[in-house]
Amino acid sequence: MLRRGLREQIWEVTESLTISVVVPVYSGGEGFRRCLASLAETRPRPLEIIVVEDGGPDQAAKEAESFGARVIRLPTTGGPARARNLGASLARGEVLLFLDADVTVPPGIIGQVVAIFSEQPDAAAVMGSYDEAPSAENFLSQYKNLLHHYVHQTSKEEASTFWGACGAVRRKVFLEMGGFDESYRWPSVEDIDLGYRLRQAGHRIRLCKELQVKHLKRWGVASLLRSDFLHRALPWTRLILRHGSMLDDLNLRPSSRASVCLAWALAGCLMATAAWPTCLAIALPVALALLAINLPVYRFFRKKRGLLFALRVVPVHWLYYFYSGLAFGIGTVQHLVNKQGLYGFDS
């Protein structure tokens, strides 16, 4: 919680700490317009809003210009990491506030960021979370965004990584670190990678649980699996193995690791029952253990969306642990093979 004195001083402090908002965008659309509209309502205002159009249709640039944003157009698509880096290199603010193009922000977000950095002058970066009221109403969108909210709201405030959808970093530190890794050509773990490097360099990252934005993305089965498996779990595995450490934070907490093992044990027991029916007796306690270890998550969903919704979450959540474990296994094999120099897998 911010001290009352800081809340009262937000307007005064804003004059001495300048904020540049950087938003990468590809195709724009209704979600992007809502993002821009919410930024237009912020009080106090940021020093500037920089929109980097990542090789997409010109419509996104026109929409941004209509809201008074500074627009930079890239002729070809290179990914959000490159777009954010370009925006940061041209920014004039002391603090860079990175936002995704599919989020809306509360009116006081600039003041929040200023107050956080003013209260904690030794913090190099700050990240927030999605709120508990995602825009899309279908089950998968509600599940995915609420799970993200839960994970961030129950994680350590002394963070081990960074989050690009709503994350702020001191511009001087960001440039010294070389920005985001531009080898990530799609939305992936470029923000997590930056967080790892910030921590390794001795910088502090704070998770501010009051700093929340609304996610507008609508998740479907294909988009969810593609994002979770190909763009998050696999590259995150490679990142973990490259850095040689698995941090006890966010999705990598011991309970999550244990859940992956239990999900695989449960799947193995169920598949084995075709040949050995007695394995069903083993599957039951494994399932109960998996349920018990994630009971706080399911209680959260029951509180927010009711019992039936929470019951629907359970199998989807267990499937998430299963394919996360699969991605970790594949990523580990790729890492070991690449280390031996047998094939040209990316590490």
Domain count along the chain: 2
d(CA 227, CA 232): 6
d(CA 137, CA 55): 30
Look at residue 83 and tell me if it is in a domain. Answer: yes
Look at residue 245 and tell me if it is in a domain. Answer: no
Three-state DSSP state, 213? strand
Contact assessment for residue 79 and residue 185, using Cβ atoms and an 8 Å cutoff: yes
Q: Are 206 and 96 found together in one domain?
A: yes
The DSSP call for residue 69 is -
d(CA 94, CA 86): 16
Arithmetic mean of pLDDT, 110-122? 95
What's the pLDDT score for residue 260? 94
Q: Are 190 and 257 found together in one domain?
A: no
Contact assessment for residue 193 and residue 84, using Cβ atoms and an 8 Å cutoff: no
Q: Are 92 and 135 found together in one domain?
A: yes
Residues in Cβ contact with 273 at an 8 Å cutoff, skipping those fewer than 6 apart: 279, 280, 283
Arithmetic mean of pLDDT, 316-329? 94
The H or E element spanning position 52 is: strand 48-54
Contact assessment for residue 247 and residue 155, using Cβ atoms and an 8 Å cutoff: no
Contact assessment for residue 181 and residue 190, using Cβ atoms and an 8 Å cutoff: yes
pLDDT > 60? residue 301: yes
Look at residue 297 and tell me if it is in a domain. Answer: yes
d(CA 215, CA 227): 15
Q: Are 293 and 159 found together in one domain?
A: no
Q: Are 107 and 169 found together in one domain?
A: yes
pLDDT > 80? residue 4: no
Per the document, the length of the chain is 347
What's the pLDDT score for residue 130? 97
Three-state DSSP state, 135? coil
* Amino acid identity, position 153: Q
CATH code assigned at 205: 3.90.550.10
For tokens 């004039």, the residue is 92
For tokens 């509180």, the residue is 303
Domain hosting 262: range is 250-340
pLDDT > 90? residue 123: yes
| 153 vs 331 pLDDT, higher one | 153
What's the pLDDT score for residue 186? 86
Look at residue 29 and tell me if it is in a domain. Answer: yes
Q: Are 188 and 275 found together in one domain?
A: no
pLDDT > 70? residue 2: no
What's the pLDDT score for residue 273? 87
Arithmetic mean of pLDDT, 326-345? 74
pLDDT > 90? residue 240: no
Q: Are 13 and 67 found together in one domain?
A: yes
Q: Would you state the structure tokens that stand for residue 80, as one six-digit string? A: 């959000």
pTM: 0.89
Phi and psi angles of residue 295, each rounded to the nearest 5 degrees, phi first:
-60, -40
Q: Are 58 and 199 found together in one domain?
A: yes
Nearest to 35 by CA among 306, 177, 217, 209: 217
Q: Are 166 and 256 found together in one domain?
A: no
d(CA 16, CA 53): 30
What's the pLDDT score for residue 245? 67
Tell me what the pLDDT averaged over the chain comes to: 89
Please confirm whether the linkage preceding 44 is cis (ω < 30° from 0).
yes
The H or E element spanning position 340 is: helix 307-340
Look at residue 345 and tell me if it is in a domain. Answer: no
User: What are the Cα distances from residue 234, in Å, to 84, 172, 239, 261?
Assistant: 22, 31, 9, 17
Arithmetic mean of pLDDT, 241-264? 79
Residue 126 forms beta bridges with which residues? 168, 206
For tokens 């506030």, the residue is 97
Q: Are 42 and 89 found together in one domain?
A: yes
